[in-house]
Chain A
Amino acid sequence: MSTAIMEKPMANPLREGLVDGRRPQPFTLVIFGAAGDLAHRKLFPALYNLMLDRLLPAHFNIVGLARHPYSDQEFRKEIEESIRHYSRRPWDAGEFSRFADEIHYVTANFDDAEAYRQLAAILQGIADRTHMPQNHLFYMATPPSFYPIIAQNLGAAGLNKPKQESDWVRIIVEKPFGRDLASAQDLNNDLHQVFDERQIFRIDHYLGKETVQNILVFRFANGIFEPLWNHQYIDHVQITVAESLGVEGRGSYYDNAGAIRDMVQNHMLQLVSLMAMEPPVAFEADAVRDEKVKVLRAIRPFSTRDISEYTVRGQYESGFIDGSPVPGFLDEPDIASDSRTDTFVAMRLLIDNWRWAGVPFYLRTGKRLAKRATEIAVQFKTAPHRFFSQTATPELEPNVLTLKIQPDEGIALRFGAKVPGPVVRIRTVNMEFLYGTSFADAAPEAYERLLLDAMIGDSTLFTRKDEVESAWTLVTSILNGWARAKNPIPTYESGSWGPQEAEQLIARDGFRWRRP
C-alpha cells in the first residue's frame, strides 16, 4: 500500500491583500443552455464586463452546450451579438478579440451521454494545449428539469471531480430550485450524488445586487444602527417588491410558479434573512449563511388559520399602467383561463427569537402594481413621551429608515424637524443618501459579481442547501394552505397597490402599507 502523503497546496503569498481586484485562476466555463436567453442576456455580457474590468484571468475558455445547432464560429458570433445588445459597456472589437482563448460549442441533447464524452475530450484538449490547471465551472442555464440529468451525466463522464488537488470543479445552479420542499430536497439529493455541497453554487441574482449586499454593510459596518436593530426600538418592517410589468411572455412559466415561488421563496426571504440575521463571526460563506438559516428557522410556522389571516394572494385584472391599458392576468397569453396562480402576495411574518420577538415583518410583492419599486422600510417606535402634545403638532410621525433596492438606489431616514416660526410645529423631513450620486463608478450587474465569486470559490452570496430547504418549508406550508382553500382569489386592478385584502391584513395590526 502506498504511504505517500499528499502535499497540501501552499497558499500563494502574492495573492494576499489583492482586494482591489480579485482574479480567479485560469478556468474553463461550460454553459449548459448556451443558446438560451439567460446566457444571451446575462452571462456573456457579464463575462465581457468582467474582462474589461481586468477581473478575469489571462487564460480562460468557454464551452457552450445546447440543442440549438451552432458551429464554434457561429457560437462566437452569437456571443458577440449578445455583448453588442446587452453589455452595459459598449462592444469593442479589440477587447473582444481577447475575450477568450478558446470558444467551443457542442450541439447535443442534455441527456446524450456521447455529448459528455465530447465535452470531456474538449476539456482535455484545452488542458493539453494550454498547460493550465483544469479548473471547470459548469453553469446550468437550462430549465430545472435538466439539472439532475446534467449532473448525473457529468458524474458518469468523470467531470465532477478535479483532476488534481489544486484544481477545482464547481457547478452553478439557477433558480427555480424546486417548486416545493419535496422537489427541492429531491434536487439537492440528486446533485449531492455527484457533487459536494462546497462545489454547488445556487444562484439568487438578488444577492448579487449592490444594494442588497449593502444591507450587511449598512448594518454591520456602522456602529449606530445595530443597537437599535431589535424589538425594543423597531415597530415593524415592510418589504415591498413591486413590479409594474406583467408576465411578459413568460406566461407558461409564471402560471406554474406564481408570485410566491417566483419572488417570496427566494428573493424576499433572502431580504428578510439579511435584515434580521445576527452578526456573523466573520464575513465568510458559512458564517454568513449559518446566521441567515437561523432566521429562516425562527420564522413562526403558519397554522391553517394563520394562512387565511396573515397571507393574501391576488391576481391582477385589466387596468392602466403609465396611462396605457393592460390586460388582466387571465387574458395574458399562455395563462389557463381558470388559473388560480397568485400574481400578488402579501403576508405577515413573525420571527420567534430574542431580537425580533413581537416585531411583524410585512412582505408584499406583485405584478402590474402602480410602480416598480423594491424597498425595505424599517419603522421605529415613536418617542416614549409625548413631549410636544400641547403644541401645534399633537401627533408625531414615527421615524422610518428606508433601504431602497431599486430604482433610485439609496437610503432615506425620515424624522421630525421644527418648522421655523414662533410656535413649535413639527414636520416630517427626509435625509437621503443616493447611490447614483455618491460614487464615481457605475455598479456592476448582479451576474458579474456572482460569476466572479463562483470563479473564485466564494459562496457567501449563494444559497446553501439548508437555506433553500428552510425557505421552502415555510412557503410549502402556505402553498398547501392555499391549495385547501376553495374561496375565490382576490383580484386587483392593474396599476393599483394590490387587493383590498392586503390593506386589511396590515390594518388589523394598526399599520398601513407605505407608498414607495
Chain B
Amino acid sequence: MANSEMISWSADDLDGPSLLNALGSVVPDALDGAKPIVATVLTLGLYVKGVSSPKWVSLAQELAKQHPSRILVINPTTQDGQPRLDVAISATVAERGQGETPTLFSECVELNLKGGLATHWIDFLQPLIRPGLPAYLWWLVTPPGPDFRWDLLSTSGFTHLVIDSKTENWRQWLPSLRQALAYHMHVDDLEWQRLRDLRHHWAQLTDEPRVLKTLLNMESIEVTAPNPRWSQWIWWVTWIASRLGWNLVLDHDRTPSAIETDLGPVPIMVAESPDTTVTIVSDNVRVTTQISQPTLKSVAYHGDTAILTLDEHRIATSLQEDMHNILNRGHDVLFSQTLQCLLAAEDSLGGTLDA
C-alpha cells in the first residue's frame, strides 16, 4: 500500500478495559489527535495456543498489510494468576490527499492471555470483534475437545471457522466441523484452497467429451501417494462424488473406500508410492493426473494410445497466500457441499467409528 505508516504500541499485564482504551487511542495519539477513517472490512482471529512455528505474529502482520482487517493473534499462555494480558498492537495507517483524514487500514493485535482471560477468551474477544462484518477464526492447533462452547463462539461474532486439514489427524476435526455447522458458522479448509488448481485441471479435462464419458461411467478410482492419509485426495474424490450427486462410502477409519454411482459401486484403491497420482478407469480408458509441485500432468489412454494430454504449471502458495485467498474470495459454497457429502458418508457409518 502506497503512503502508509505503521504505528506500534505494546504493554504488559493489562486488564481487558485497558486494552479497549488502548485500541481507541493508540492511533489518534500517534496522529496528533486525528481520528482516522476505519477501513477494516473483517476481523481475523488466529488461535495459536501452544503453536510456536511458524511465526504467527509475523504471518498476521503480513496478512494485515494486505487486508483491511483487525487481526487478533490469540494465545492463551497460562490459566493461572490474575486475568491479565500482554499485548502488542501494530496499526497500518494509509495517508490520503493533503488535508484529508487518514485511513486506519488494518490492525494486528497480539494477545498473550493469562488467568481468567485465557480460560474465557471467547468472552474477552467479543468487544474486539468488529461488529457487523465477517469475522474469521483460524484455528491452528488440534481441534477443540467435546466440551468446547461452540454456542458461545458462534454468538461471539465469529462467523467463519478456518482449519487446515494438512495433518495426519485431520479426521479428528469432523466432530468440530459438525458443531460449527450446527451453529451456522461457515467452514473453510486451507487444504481445499490448495486443491483449487487440481479441481480446475479436472474441470478442464472433463471438457473433453471422452474424459467426461469416462468419469460418468467410471469403474474404479486409483490413488497413489507417499502418504495415503494425505487429505487432498479425499477432498478430490469427495468433490467428484458431490458434483455427480453420488454417495461416498467410508471405511471404518473414515477413509473413502468407494463411490456409489447410478451404475453401482466404484471402488477406490489407495496405494503408497513416491508419486502422487489420481486415476479414473472405465472401459479400457484410463485418465491419470500426476501431481507434483511444479506441474499437473494428465494423460488419457484408450488402451495403449494416448488420446489426450494436459500439462499445467502449478502455483506454489505459501500459508499466507492460502489464507489471503480465503479472506479475499470469501466462503466457498462448493466446499460446504463437498463437506456435507463427506459428513453424510460418515453418518451412514452409524456408531462404528473409530475415535
- A residues touching B (Cβ–Cβ < 8 Å)? 9-10, 12-18, 20-21, 23, 25, 54, 57-59, 98, 131, 133, 166, 432, 434, 437-441
Establish whether residues A23 and B244, one from each chain, have CB atoms under 8 Å apart when the complex forms: no
Establish whether residues A21 and B196, one from each chain, have CB atoms under 8 Å apart when the complex forms: yes
Given the known interface contacts A432-B37, A440-B324, the answer about A54 and B315 at a Cβ–Cβ threshold of 8 Å is: yes
Q: What are 24 A-B contacts defined by CB distance under 8 Å?
A: A9-B209, A10-B209, A14-B203, A14-B206, A14-B215, A14-B243, A15-B207, A16-B243, A17-B333, A18-B200, A20-B196, A23-B200, A54-B200, A57-B204, A58-B201, A166-B209, A434-B103, A437-B1, A437-B68, A439-B41, A439-B328, A440-B66, A440-B67, A440-B328
Cα distance A452–B1 in the bound complex, in angstroms: 27
Cα distance A15–B202 in the bound complex, in angstroms: 9
- Which residues of chain B come closer than 8 Å to A20, judged between CB atoms? 196, 329, 332
Cα distance A18–B337 in the bound complex, in angstroms: 13
B328 in complex: contacting residue of A14, A15, A59, A441, CB < 8 Å: A441
Cα distance A13–B239 in the bound complex, in angstroms: 11
Given the known interface contacts A432-B37, A437-B68, the answer about A15 and B308 at a Cβ–Cβ threshold of 8 Å is: no
Q: Considering the complex of A and B, which 5 residue pairs feature the smallest CB-CB distances, nearest first?
A: A437-B39, A17-B334, A14-B203, A58-B312, A13-B243
Establish whether residues B328 and A10, one from each chain, have CB atoms under 8 Å apart when the complex forms: no
B88 within 8 A of A: no
B311 within 8 A of A: yes
B212 in complex: contacting residue of A12, A25, A58, A59, CB < 8 Å: A12
- Which residue on A lies nearest to B337, using beta carbons? A17
Minimum CB–CB distance from B197 to chain A (whole Å) comes to 7
Establish whether residues A23 and B39, one from each chain, have CB atoms under 8 Å apart when the complex forms: no
- Which residue on A lies nearest to B245, using beta carbons? A13
Cα distance A54–B329 in the bound complex, in angstroms: 15
- Which residues of chain A come closer than 8 Å to B203, judged between CB atoms? 12, 14-15, 18, 23
- Which residues of chain A come closer than 8 Å to B313, judged between CB atoms? 98
- Which residue on B lies nearest to A55, using beta carbons? B200
- Which residue on A lies nearest to B333, using beta carbons? A17
B199 within 8 A of A: yes
Establish whether residues B68 and A440, one from each chain, have CB atoms under 8 Å apart when the complex forms: yes
Minimum CB–CB distance from B272 to chain A (whole Å) comes to 27
How many residues on chain B are close to A (CB under 8 Å)?
41
- Which residue on B lies nearest to A21, using beta carbons? B200
Question: Would you give the 0/1 interface string for B311-343, flagging 1 where the beta carbon is closer than 8 Å to chain A?
Answer: 111010000000010011100111001000000
B94 within 8 A of A: yes
B240 within 8 A of A: yes
- Which residue on B lies nearest to A94, using beta carbons? B313
- Which residues of chain B come closer than 8 Å to A21, judged between CB atoms? 196, 200
- Which residues of chain A come closer than 8 Å to B212, judged between CB atoms? 10, 12
B66, B207, B307: residue with the most chain A Cβ atoms closer than 10 Å? B207
Establish whether residues B310 and A12, one from each chain, have CB atoms under 8 Å apart when the complex forms: no
Cα distance A16–B63 in the bound complex, in angstroms: 30
Establish whether residues A434 and B243, one from each chain, have CB atoms under 8 Å apart when the complex forms: no
B105 within 8 A of A: yes
- Which residues of chain B come closer than 8 Å to A438, judged between CB atoms? 39, 41, 68
- Which residue on A lies nearest to B199, using beta carbons? A18
- Which residues of chain B come closer than 8 Å to A432, judged between CB atoms? 37
- Which residue on B lies nearest to A20, using beta carbons? B329
Cα distance A58–B289 in the bound complex, in angstroms: 14
Cα distance A255–B15 in the bound complex, in angstroms: 71
Cα distance A48–B66 in the bound complex, in angstroms: 23
- Which residues of chain B come closer than 8 Å to A16, judged between CB atoms? 243
Cα distance A437–B215 in the bound complex, in angstroms: 44
Establish whether residues A23 and B103, one from each chain, have CB atoms under 8 Å apart when the complex forms: no
Given the known interface contacts A440-B68, A440-B327, the answer about A58 and B310 at a Cβ–Cβ threshold of 8 Å is: yes
Cα distance A21–B329 in the bound complex, in angstroms: 10
Cα distance A9–B207 in the bound complex, in angstroms: 10
- Which residue on B lies nearest to A166, using beta carbons? B209
B103 in complex: contacting residue of A18, A133, A437, CB < 8 Å: A437
- Which residues of chain A come closer than 8 Å to B333, judged between CB atoms? 17
Cα distance A438–B199 in the bound complex, in angstroms: 29
- Which residues of chain B come closer than 8 Å to A133, judged between CB atoms? 207
Minimum CB–CB distance from B216 to chain A (whole Å) comes to 8
Given the known interface contacts A440-B66, A440-B68, A441-B328, the answer about A14 and B103 at a Cβ–Cβ threshold of 8 Å is: no
- Which residues of chain A come closer than 8 Å to B41, judged between CB atoms? 438-439
Cα distance A441–B68 in the bound complex, in angstroms: 11
B334 in complex: contacting residue of A12, A18, A58, A441, CB < 8 Å: A18
Cα distance A17–B329 in the bound complex, in angstroms: 13
Given the known interface contacts A58-B312, A437-B39, A437-B68, the answer about A14 and B240 at a Cβ–Cβ threshold of 8 Å is: yes
Cα distance A25–B39 in the bound complex, in angstroms: 39
Interface of chain B residues 199 through 233 with chain A (CB within 8 A): 199-204, 206-207, 209, 212, 215
Cα distance A440–B105 in the bound complex, in angstroms: 10
- Which residue on B lies nearest to A14, using beta carbons? B203
Cα distance A131–B337 in the bound complex, in angstroms: 34
- Which residues of chain A come closer than 8 Å to B243, judged between CB atoms? 13-14, 16-17
Besides A12-B203, A440-B66, 13 other A-B contacts (C-beta < 8 A): A10-B212, A12-B207, A13-B206, A16-B243, A18-B199, A18-B334, A58-B312, A133-B207, A432-B37, A437-B103, A440-B67, A440-B68, A440-B324
Establish whether residues B209 and A434, one from each chain, have CB atoms under 8 Å apart when the complex forms: no
A437 in complex: contacting residue of B94, B202, B315, B324, CB < 8 Å: B94
Question: Would you give the 0/1 interface string for B159-188, flagging 1 where the beta carbon is closer than 8 Å to chain A?
Answer: 000000000000000000000000000000
Cα distance A25–B244 in the bound complex, in angstroms: 21
- Which residues of chain B come closer than 8 Å to A17, judged between CB atoms? 243, 333-334, 337
- Which residues of chain A come closer than 8 Å to B307, judged between CB atoms? 131
Cα distance A17–B66 in the bound complex, in angstroms: 27
Cα distance A171–B327 in the bound complex, in angstroms: 36
- Which residues of chain A come closer than 8 Å to B196, judged between CB atoms? 20-21
Minimum CB–CB distance from B342 to chain A (whole Å) comes to 16
Cα distance A58–B197 in the bound complex, in angstroms: 11
Minimum CB–CB distance from A166 to chain B (whole Å) comes to 7
Given the known interface contacts A9-B209, A18-B334, A98-B313, the answer about A58 and B204 at a Cβ–Cβ threshold of 8 Å is: yes
Cα distance A12–B315 in the bound complex, in angstroms: 24
Cα distance A15–B200 in the bound complex, in angstroms: 8
- Which residues of chain B come closer than 8 Å to A437, judged between CB atoms? 1, 39, 68, 94, 103, 105
Question: Would you give the 0/1 interface string for B136-174, flagging 1 where the beta carbon is closer than 8 Å to chain A?
Answer: 000000000000000000000000000000000000000
- Which residue on A lies nearest to B306, using beta carbons? A131
Cα distance A57–B206 in the bound complex, in angstroms: 13
Establish whether residues A54 and B197, one from each chain, have CB atoms under 8 Å apart when the complex forms: yes
- Which residues of chain B come closer than 8 Å to A440, judged between CB atoms? 66-68, 324, 327-328
- Which residue on A lies nearest to B63, using beta carbons? A440
- Which residues of chain B come closer than 8 Å to A434, judged between CB atoms? 39, 103
Minimum CB–CB distance from A504 to chain B (whole Å) comes to 32
Minimum CB–CB distance from A516 to chain B (whole Å) comes to 14
- Which residues of chain A come closer than 8 Å to B105, judged between CB atoms? 437
Establish whether residues B329 and A25, one from each chain, have CB atoms under 8 Å apart when the complex forms: no
Minimum CB–CB distance from A450 to chain B (whole Å) comes to 21
- Which residues of chain A come closer than 8 Å to B66, judged between CB atoms? 440
Establish whether residues B68 and A23, one from each chain, have CB atoms under 8 Å apart when the complex forms: no
Minimum CB–CB distance from A434 to chain B (whole Å) comes to 7
